[in-house]
Structure 1
Amino acid sequence: MQFKLLTAVTTFLAASSVQAAIAPSDIVNTLEKVTDLSSDTKDIAEDISNPVTIIPNGFKLVNNFKDIISTVTGAISMLGDLPNDPNFPEAGQTDICDAFREFVKVHQALLNVVIGKDSLLSSTPVASILAAVLRALESGVDKLAFTIIDTVPTCAAGAKKDLEALDGTIGEAIDTFSS
């Protein structure tokens, strides 16, 4: 009887410690979620157009960037469960790289709109908060990107170029709001 109980407990513990495998589609879905948040944040940034909208939309902008950071942090946690070599099929790697490229494109568009709002935001308390949030965003995006790049050897070179371009735009945004 004790042997059966021990076997049952061991089986239960082994089953509960098994983690669900992460598929390329999981990574793609996460990148698409971050891309959608970036697009929504761009809409908020575009609405900053006059003295009446600067403060309320400026803080909405900051809060949306915080949502992006939170989503990126969750993605980093999810990807932390990946084995060192997930051995994704080539088609899955391509899907991941395509989703990453789209994220970079949309996020750069967002950052360029935000940079363009410097003249309106620079004289408000939003500017210094935005600079701090952008620094946190850069750190999270870099960590996420490097993790993703490690999973896609077939298209890693392109993903690295995309990351370099994004880092340049994030750096410009940080510099804009740090001065």
Structure 2
Amino acid sequence: MKFSLIALLACAVTAIASPMQLVSRADASRIIVDIQLITTKSGDLNKKAADLNILSFILGGFGFSIASGLQDIGQTGAIAVNDVTTPPFDIFSAPDARDVIAVLKTFVIVHQQLLSTLIGKHGLFEQFGGTQPIAKALREIEEVVDSFAEALINLIPTEYDEAMFQMHSLDISLRNTISVYSD
């Protein structure tokens, strides 16, 4: 009992004596890395989806890995949402905001390519009963994108118009793809 009490006292003294600092997770470099990671995952999944054909479904079931790849993108996006919504919320400098927009533009292009590929492969997924998992994953991604956009736009007011344009453009593509896979 004495040992536990001494250990508890030592921890309490250490905690009180140590200065507490909030680490800003919503900084430009962190957000840029998050967006780049999601961009890479979207590009890799697009290559995989583009290579799908009837044989890859029959022989290897590779088509079903697309839904799990989309889920992975959604989970990575959820981490990005956490990063962009963790206080303190310091508005990014104009140069940092421009850097964020640059990677955001690339992400939107790459993700729209993935969505376009998925629309083109819809018939394959429909033949093998794979549309519902994809529709579900796409709806989850849409929620993540909306949360991320809302938080990010508050951090880059100098690039508000461009950020809104990019997010709106992506939102339209997502909704179109969700519609195709939900019918």
Q: TM-score, with normalisation over the residues of structure 1? A: 0.88
Letter in 2 for 1:161: F
Following superposition of structure 1 onto structure 2, how do residues 116-135 of structure 1 map, counting pairs within 5 Å?
116-135=120-139
Following superposition of structure 1 onto structure 2, how do residues 39-50 of structure 1 map, counting pairs within 5 Å?
39-49=43-53
Following superposition of structure 1 onto structure 2, how do residues 164-175 of structure 1 map, counting pairs within 5 Å?
164-175=168-179
Alignment-derived partner of residue 10 in structure 1: 16
2:71 counterpart (59, 66, 70)? 66
Following superposition of structure 1 onto structure 2, how do residues 52-131 of structure 1 map, counting pairs within 5 Å?
52-54=55-57, 56-84=61-89, 86-131=90-135
Instruction: Mark the CA change 1:7 to 1:121 in structure 2 (over 3 Å): closer, same or farther.
Output: closer
Letter in 2 for 1:113: T
Deviation, structure 1 residue 82? 3.1
Following superposition of structure 1 onto structure 2, how do residues 151-162 of structure 1 map, counting pairs within 5 Å?
151-162=155-166
**Please, which runs of 5 or more residues in structure 2 have no aligned partner?**
1-9
Over 3 Å off, 4+ runs? 5-9
Q: Could you say what secondary structure the match of 2:127 adopts? A: coil
RMSD: 1.7
Cα distance in 2 for residues equivalent to 1:130 and 1:8: 50
**Please, which runs of 5 or more residues in structure 1 have no aligned partner?**
none
Instruction: Mark the CA change 1:9 to 1:39 in structure 2 (over 3 Å): closer, same or farther.
Output: closer
Instruction: Mark the CA change 1:9 to 1:171 in structure 2 (over 3 Å): closer, same or farther.
Output: closer
Letter in 1 for 2:72: D
Cα distance in 2 for residues equivalent to 1:45 and 1:8: 53
Pairing 1:178–2:166 present:
no
Q: Could you say what secondary structure the match of 1:48 adopts? A: coil
Cα distance in 2 for residues equivalent to 1:65 and 1:20: 30
Cα distance in 2 for residues equivalent to 1:127 and 1:96: 33
What do residues 143-171 of structure 1 show as CA deviations (whole Å, max 9, x unaligned)?
11221111111111111111111111111
Letter in 1 for 2:74: I
Greater CA drift, 136-145 or 73-82? 73-82
CA contact (8 A) 1:47 1:57 kept: no
Cα distance in 1 for residues equivalent to 2:128 and 2:63: 9
Cα distance in 2 for residues equivalent to 1:62 and 1:8: 47
